[in-house]
Amino acid sequence: MRLRGTRGGVLLTLDASVKLDEVEATLAPHLELLAGKVVLEVAEKVPWSVLAAVAERVAAAGGEVADVRPPTSVTAVRAETVIVARTVRSGGRVESAGSLVVLGDVNAGAELVAEGDVIVTGLLRGIAHAGAAGNEKAVIYAERILAPQLRIAGALAQGDPRADAADEGRRTPEVALLQDGQIVVRPWAS
């Protein structure tokens, strides 16, 4: 039996070797940790009597068993947002395990890769990949999207080099998002 803290409470891992008489001895020194939300990670052969004893100890400590799940479950940890307070020049590459915010332009030849959203407060002329770990809800936002290539999760869109001259008069912020497996670029306001 292993006990470790998480952002929302405590994760208690039970494996098949846990015996009923060990539950009290193992949990007694840690009762203050069981006063909140407790998630049980349970191997496939844990006896019901052990689960019931753990649930009783958690309730007696003033906590609640919020979830019971198999040990293969992985809780995704949300990563920090990376903020770049400058223009990203050609040849530059910026990566983030969370979202990525650029306070400036992204020049042609630069590349942005984020597991979350990509937000550019200026012109986006470089390559942008939002949702790099498969997040299909990620978006790419920029003052103007003039990128030769956009990626959201596993979807790819190629830019039209003639669009830059044709859209010269448009000055509204744009957002690229995934709709029905296709990347769609539209004005932010709509």
Q: Are residues 128 and 65 in the same domain?
A: no
Choose one of 18, 45, 69: the last residue of a domain. 69
Number of domains within the chain: 2
Minimal CA–CA distance to 155: which of 174, 175, 137, 173? 137
Instruction: Give Cβ neighbours of residue 161 (< 8 Å, ≥ 6 apart).
Output: 148
Q: Are residues 58 and 124 in the same domain?
A: no
Taking the CA atoms of residue 80, residue 84, residue 90 and residue 96 in that order, the dihedral angle to the nearest 10 degrees is 0
Does residue 170 form part of some domain? yes
**The pLDDT of residue 25:** 83
Q: Are residues 91 and 182 in the same domain?
A: yes
Q: Are residues 58 and 127 in the same domain?
A: no
Rounded to 5 degrees, what angle do the CA atoms 169, 171, 175 make? 125
Residue 42 belongs to what domain range? 2-69
**The pLDDT of residue 164:** 57
Does residue 75 form part of some domain? no
pLDDT tens per residue, the chain (190 residues)? 787 877 778 888 888 788 888 888 888 887 888 888 888 888 767 888 888 888 898 898 888 888 888 765 544 556 789 999 999 999 999 999 999 999 999 999 999 999 999 999 999 999 999 999 999 999 999 999 999 999 999 999 998 766 655 555 567 899 999 999 999 999 987 6
